[in-house]
Structure 1
Amino acid sequence: MKSALLLLTVILISIYTFSQVEIRREIEEANAELSQIYGFSVKYSLTILKGEGHEQPAAIDDNGIYQIFLYTTSYRSGVARHELAHVYFFEYLRSIGFTPNEIPVWYHELMAEGFQSLHSRTRIPILRVAFYDFTEFDRRYPNKDDQSVFYGAVSSFAGYILERHSYIDLTIVAEEFLEEGDMSAAFSKVFGSSLESMILKWRLIFLLPYSPFLIGVVLFLYLLIGRRDKYWRKFPLDLESLREDEETKNRRAH
């Protein structure tokens, strides 16, 4: 019994240690990449906690250091990249004289999800993602039930953009938005297409793999409706009988 308990303890410690090493390796690689993209480095303090929780970057402290909190149990590959991308974007906004609050929430997540997806493969999003309006979240996050759909939509849209443009272009969009106050115009200036147009194109491409299924559903409904129509045509409408029934009702009423 004691041997089994000791073995279990060793295994748990090994898993925890391995998770810490993996997280630190990932964030160091992300830091090197982000510093090259932005042309500067940030000071950050990484705190790795046991158990589960919500990963997040905290505001800069009095010493000019950003705090990043990650949890070993709920950790997934790419999360460290995501959180550090937030930190660098915060610092970028500070460097050009703005604050993170001046950028829509969904765009903050676009920056983080975009950087995360540069090297991390994400799961195929559910179909609902294509019809989800993530751009409505300017100042708040969606409720807990919708967060997976929100992040799925943002991640997929970010991937669509980065297949056609560079990551640094996303920072230029943010700068244009801060100067003009119009995100759609900022997209048009940097990408040559408005935000609405790019979202529409992304949705069409997103739905393309589902097209055989959607066509099948439409065809099934068409055949079903057609068969029902053909069935009811077997029973021609007898107007004379209807008139007789109406006259009978009128006589009874009198």
Structure 2
Amino acid sequence: MSEVKNYRELGCQACLNGTALGFDFSMAFQPILDLSTRTVFAQEALVRGIGNLPAATVFKQVNDENRYAFDQACRVKAVSLAARLKMPSLLSINFMPNAVYRPELCIRTTLKAAEDFGFPISRIMFEVTESERVDDIPHLQSIIRHYQQQGFTTALDDFGAGFSGLNMLADLHVDILKLDMHLVRDIDKNGRKHAIVRGVMATSEELGIKVIAEGVETPQEYVALREMGINLFQGFLFARPAYEALAEIDWQNR
């Protein structure tokens, strides 16, 4: 990946108020639950337009020219809000691999935000989405490795929906794998999906990787996944994203 020209470290305030971008946005949070302990394992930060407008209203303004600044701003927004809400769990932040050209430089803004807002680095998890095409796998490996060295948890998001499938899992030594919602949907009625997820669970256990089932919407999906040994869940069945707040969780019958 070629180095971005005219690199400038963005200040936290520039990221926070959107001046580095020319537009502003905020975050909603959706919990990831550990049903084995009935606790909140993490809160995923999800982009929203100001006033809880859909994420699409924000992403349509992101392009190759401002992708790096947007990625940095997302991190600062998430850390700032998590600190303000006194979030006790992990904070999960999605990052764009193609916006990170040198991990040791691109992480500086995150580290500064964590220090400025008083949020522990040990409670930050970075999710790389498998649905974003990444041609330079060694570069992505270096990002994951550097983040782990800094003390961050790392996760592979949308597993099963992207470009690389099991190849990505083989190449990236992440801590957590998030099953894509397509594999989760109607898994209680789909034997092929059931077999695939069982295989992923066996592989993940051997590799020492935790598995999160995301996009869970029905009690039947939840029961089927729990019977396969999954403890970490995310989805509308438990809580919808809450704009600039921590969501109320439906623990009933879980």
Provide the TM-score with structure 2 as the length reference: 0.23
The structure with the largest alpha-carbon Rg is 1
Q: Give TM-score scaled by structure 1 length.
A: 0.23
Structure having the larger proportion of residues in helix = 1
Instruction: Indicate the structure with greater strand content.
Output: 2
